[in-house]
Amino acid sequence: MSRNLVLGAVLSAVFVLAALISFAWVPYDVTQMDITNKIKPPSPAHPLGTDHFGRDILSMIMVGARTSIAVALVAVGIGMGLGVPLGLAAAAKKGGWLDELIMRANDLVFAFPSLLIAIMITAVFGASAINAIIAIGIFNIPVFARLTRSGALSLWTRDFVLAARVAGKGATRISVEHILPNVTNLLIVQGTIQFSLGILAEAGLSYVGLGAQPPTPSWGRMLADSQTMVSFAPHMALFPGLAILLTVLGLNLMGDGLRDRFDPKLQRARQ
Amino acid sequence: MNFRKIGTAAALTALLAGAAQARDEVIVGLQLEPPHLDPTSAAAGAIDSVLYANVFEGLTRFMSDGSITPGLAESWDISEDGLVYTFKLRSGVTFHDGTTLDAGDVKFSLDRARAEDSQNAQKALFADIDTVEVVDPQTVRVTLSQPNGSFLFNMAWGDAVIVAPESIDGIKQTPIGTGAFKFSDWVQGDRIELVKNPDYWGDPAKLESATFKFISDPTAAFAAVMAEDVHVFSAFPAPENLPQFEADPRFQVLVGSTEGETILSTNNKMPPFDNVKVRQALAHAIDRQAIIDGAMFGYGTPIGTHFAPHNPDYVDLTEMSAYDPEKSKALLAEAGFPDGFTTTLKLPPPSYARRGGEIIAAQLREVGIQTEITNLEWPQWLEEVFRGKDFGLTIVSHTEPADINIYARPDYYFQYDNPAFQELMTTLNNTTEPDERSELLQQAQRMISEDYVNGYLFQLAALSVANVKVQGLWANAPTQATDLTGVYWQD
């Protein structure tokens, strides 16, 4: 196994674990304010210090991980759930009107700046984690649709697909039984990358106040709140910033590692 | 060779020019940019922040301590019955376009403000005026329909400044007033420039020019002051940064009082807030000191009613709504909400509202009241909350001076409808005797405090940062203004 893969998996696992643990236990209640203890630097009682309301930053990051991961995960789910079938359908009807329709619709979504549309969606339907998920999810659809289509197109010319056709299988069955299993690797790699982008997008939306609303902790809003205090309380910005950085780095390394592992060409080169 | 010398000389000249220039110009940072430049036709305080006292003047004017002194009116006589005010105007006053100020301009301004189709945001100031007559070019007589003890005070407001019929059409882009500064340029989204008015009737401005720069982001405001891009930042938006300025010998921090009663505004018509027990429970659930410390980093004075603590008539009623979560829970149970309820909390942009809102939400959660927080920009807030009255709770600072009379308006956004209070305000308006007025004002403060109309949080502090050499700034903010007429650079 490559070093990237291990390092990435460990980093990602740390934050997933932190999120999972937070359901059962956090050092301090994140909705509990303690104004007299505000903006304290790291100490044994608060390993990462406290924020401007006296809340424990470690607990906030743990619960914030939950928000980030949930938003990114569901967004990737939306992208895969809709993008993959669309991609498979487009590939099956290559050159037909359905292919054209799906792919041009994808181009349309791709042509919009994603964050701008996310801001528009949250401005129209209100700022919340759910709307952030939808906004980010919509932009995952074309990514997965294109990837699936290109992967599937090369598979459609292969002998085993031809064999299936000769055996009388329809396009839908071939797509599901023969094409899909063979593009899964691609999807997993892309899913990991999109997952990290989802975390970034959620942090970005929360930073401008359009993601999860208070009191739900979110890494992006923690950064926004700390902005005017960076000069005298750097820990308030440093730790949520590090959390975003390490999670995204971890997921990207993992995606890279997975690609190396799955890619037959690279595997052959290694042997 | 020579190029270098020329370059050095040019740089040196520029440097010297810069140094010389710095002594007679000042750059003031403000958070909000005015929507247009007519103080007599908009509610936006940002207009007064730039133009009040600098470009526009009224018959009377506010001083830094909130007192009223003669402005364009040199003196006045009040008839025995308190109905007729005869203002004697200063002579030799000209508008910036060269036209002279006379009684006709005063009549025009007052009639325009109180007209049926007037766009004035504070029409109530002029409601008691019956007629305005021109006696001679230097004298104007105002007859009231009923005595109004605060008429001279009303005439000092930014909404009551004197404008000229000759220049009224372009006032929103090119304001023409009588002040010590003339409007020079407005680069929208960036700055407004004023220059000294050489023909000013009073003590001329000590500065040659003044620039107002609009910086809405608190972090950018901090950076601009630190880099000395602005010499003064009036109403600095991030109180957490003030200790750093205080510790820096380049800056002075001015902490004064404002007329801003910061309140947890409650929709008195919306159940369950139509029940006084629920409102009382709300009041006891709030820990004011935690809000002042957490949202304003300690700047602010707790209040228990809608009145400024620096006012001599202020009554300290904070005990009426002392922090007592147990009592709050008991009151909620009595009102029929033993498990609390859920309501909305809509927050405008200032940090007192955004941060204060998070703290209040946490405090209300302690007693079982759940709040859904929505962050709104000012235009949305004005639309949804102020005009649409679609809110449960909101936090806002009422910066108008002596504005307890808003409680006599049942259609005002928090919708407090109490005939006894309305009658009290009518009596107050008809009373000119100072002691009686003081008594009535105290009665009014008690009445709204006992009715727990809104959650009374704190009096907003006036927080400004300035270069240590800039002198003559207002520390207090009796009205929204950045009076630069007395500002100068100390050597």
CATH code of residue B198? 3.40.190.10
Q: Which of B219, B294, B365 faces A228 most closely, judged by CB atoms?
A: B219
C-beta of residue A225 within 8 angstroms of C-beta of residue A236: yes
Length of chain B: 491
Please confirm whether the linkage preceding B272 is cis (ω < 30° from 0). Answer: yes
Domain closes at, from B119, B135, B170: B170
Q: Which distant-in-sequence residues (6+ apart) come within 8 Å of B266 by Cβ?
A: B273, B279, B282, B392, B393, B414, B453, B454, B455
pLDDT of B1 strictly over 80: no
Q: What is the CB neighbour count within 10 angstroms for residue B276?
A: 15
- The label of the residue with tokens 């800039």 reads B470
CB contacts, 8 Å: A126 with chain B: 374
Q: CB distance A214–B358 less than 8 Å?
A: yes
pLDDT digits (tens, 9 = 90+) for A21-31: 999 998 988 88
B44 has pLDDT over 80: no
Q: How far apart are CA B383 and CA B126, in angstroms?
A: 25
**pLDDT per position as a tens digit, A235-255:** 999 999 999 999 999 999 999
What's the rounded mean pLDDT across residues B409-436? Answer: 89
Residues of A in contact with B365 (CB under 8 A): 31, 215
CATH number of B141's domain: 3.90.76.10
Please, is B14 exposed, middle or buried when counting C-beta atoms within 10 Å of its C-beta (0-12, 13-18, 19+)? exposed
Dihedral, A176, A178, A181, A183 alpha carbons, nearest 10: -100
B336-350 pLDDT tens trace: 999 989 999 999 988
Q: Is the pLDDT of residue B43 over 70?
A: yes
Give CA angle at B151 (B147, B152), nearest 5°: 135
Q: B294 to chain A: which residues are within 8 Å by CB? A: 33, 35, 38, 52-54
B14 in a structural domain = no
Residue B366 has pLDDT above 80, yes or no: yes
Per-residue model confidence (pLDDT) at position B147:
83
DSSP state of B386: I
Q: Which two tokens stand for residue B279?
A: 């409102």
Across all residues in chain B, what is the average pLDDT?
89
Q: Are residues B288 and B380 in the same domain?
A: yes
Work out the minimum CA distance from B438 to partner chain A, whole angstroms. Answer: 37
Does residue B3 sit within a domain?
no
- What separation, in Å, do the N-terminal and C-terminal C-alpha atoms of chain B show? 38
Token pair in block for residue B442:
């105290």
Residues B283 and B362 in one domain: yes
B181 lies in the same domain as B263 = no
Interchain proximity A35–B290, CB inside 8 Å: yes
pLDDT of residue B21: 47
Q: How many domains are there within chain B?
A: 3
- Judged against a pLDDT cut of 70, whether residue B4 lies above it is answered with no
pLDDT at B300: 93
User: What confidence tens digit (pLDDT) does each residue in A3-16 have?
Assistant: 889 999 999 999 99
Q: Token digits for A196?
A: 């990290």
Sorting pLDDT into bands at 50, 70 and 90, what band is B325?
very high
At which of B120, B144, B170 does a domain end? B170
Do both B362 and B410 map to the same domain? yes
Residues of A in contact with B290 (CB under 8 A): 33, 35
- For residue B252, the model assigns a pLDDT of 95
Nearest-5° Cα angle at B435, B433 to B436: 65
Whether the predicted pLDDT of B6 surpasses 70: no
- Is the predicted pLDDT of residue B9 greater than 90, yes or no? no
Q: Could A215 and B362 be called an inter-chain contact, meaning their C-beta atoms sit closer than 8 Å? A: yes
If asked whether residues B289 and B140 sit together in one domain, one would say no
Chain A positions contacting chain B at CB under 8 Å are 31-33, 35-36, 38, 52-54, 126-127, 209, 213-215, 227-229, 231-232
Distance CA B105, CA B165 (A): 7
* Domain at A3-270, CATH homologous superfamily: MetI-like (1.10.3720.10)
Is pLDDT of B3 > 50? no
Q: Would you state the pLDDT for residue B47? A: 92
What pLDDT shows up at residue A267?
Answer: 61
B398-413 burial by CB neighbour count: b if 16+ within 10 A, else e? bbbbbbbbebbeeebb
Please tell me which of the candidates A215, A228, A232 has its beta carbon nearest to residue B361.
A215
Q: pLDDT exceeding 70 applies to what percent of chain B?
A: 96
Q: Which of A193-197, A210-214, B35-39, B68-72 has the lowest mean pLDDT?
A: A210-214
Q: What is the DSSP letter of B145?
A: S
Task: Dig out the tokens for A239 from the structure.
Answer: 């730790």
**Alpha-carbon span A178 to A165, nearest angstrom:** 11
Q: Which residues pair with B257 in a beta bridge?
A: B461
B407 and B327, same structural domain?
yes
CATH number, domain with residue B392: 3.10.105.10
Check: CB of residue B294 under 8 Å from CB of residue B355: yes
Whether residues B300 and B316 share a domain: the answer is yes
DSSP state for residue B359 in the 8-state scheme: H
β-pairing, B370-375 with B232-233? unpaired
- Per-residue tokens: B483: 């009076």
Residues 6+ apart with CB under 8 A from B277: B331, B332, B334, B335
Instruction: Give the pLDDT of residue A148.
Output: 94
Residue B440 shares a structural domain with residue B363: yes
pLDDT digits (tens, 9 = 90+) for A194-214: 999 999 988 988 898 888 888
Query: Which residue of A lies nearest to B291 if distances are taken between CA atoms?
Result: A35
Chain B residues bordering chain A (beta-carbon distance below 8 Å): 218-219, 222, 238, 240-241, 243-244, 290, 293-294, 355, 357-359, 361-362, 365, 372-375
Cα A218 to the center of its chain, rounded Å? 15
Task: Name the strand (E) or helix (H) holding A156.
Answer: helix A129-156
In angstroms, the first-to-last Cα distance of chain A is 13
What whole-number distance in Å separates Cα of residue B237 and Cα of residue B31? 7
Rounded Cα gap, residues B310 and A176, in angstroms:
77
Q: Is a pLDDT exceeding 60 seen at residue A47?
A: yes
* Residue for token pair 């800056």: B251
Question: Domain boundary residue among B170, B201, B216?
Answer: B170
Map B365-383 to HEC letters: HHCCCEEEEEECCHHHHHH
Q: Which amino acid is at B215?
A: I
Whether A52 sits inside 8 A of B355 (CB atoms) is: yes
pLDDT for residue A94:
86
Shared-domain flag, residues B79 and B135: yes
For Cα atoms A93, A96, A102, give the angle at the middle one, nearest 5 degrees. 75
Residue of A nearest to B237 (CA): A228
What tens digit of pLDDT does each residue of B434-460 get?
888 899 999 999 999 999 999 999 999
CA angle A61, A63, A67 (to 5 degrees): 100
Q: Which residues from chain B sit within 8 angstroms of residue A227, using beta carbons?
A: 218-219
| Residues A110-144: tens digit of each pLDDT | 888 877 888 888 778 877 888 888 888 888 999 99
Query: How many contacts, defined by CB atoms under 8 Å, are there between A and B?
Result: 56
**A32, A122, A131, A228: best mutation site toward chain B, by most B Cβ within 10 Å?**
A228
What residues in A contact B219, CB-CB < 8 Å?
227-228
Mutate to test the interface with B, among A29, A31, A32, A33 (most CBs of B within 10 A): A33
**In a shared domain, residues B453 and B473:** no
User: Do B314 and B420 lie in a common domain?
Assistant: yes
Range of the domain at B364: 259-461
Specify the pLDDT at position A271: 52
CB B93 within 8 A of CB B84: no
In this structure, is residue B6 part of a structural domain?
Answer: no
Residue B101 lies in a domain: yes
Highest-confidence segment of A172-176, B41-45, B427-431: A172-176
User: Quick count: other Cβ atoms within 10 Å of Cβ A268?
Assistant: 8
When pLDDT is cut at 50, 70 and 90, the band that residue B402 belongs to is confident
Q: Looking at the structure, do residues B287 and B407 belong to the same domain, yes or no?
A: yes
Q: Above pLDDT 90, what percent of chain B?
A: 70
pLDDT at residue B151 tops 50: yes
Q: Hey, what are B335's tokens?
A: 């009102």
Task: Name which of B218, B365, B374 is nearest A228 (Cβ-Cβ).
Answer: B218
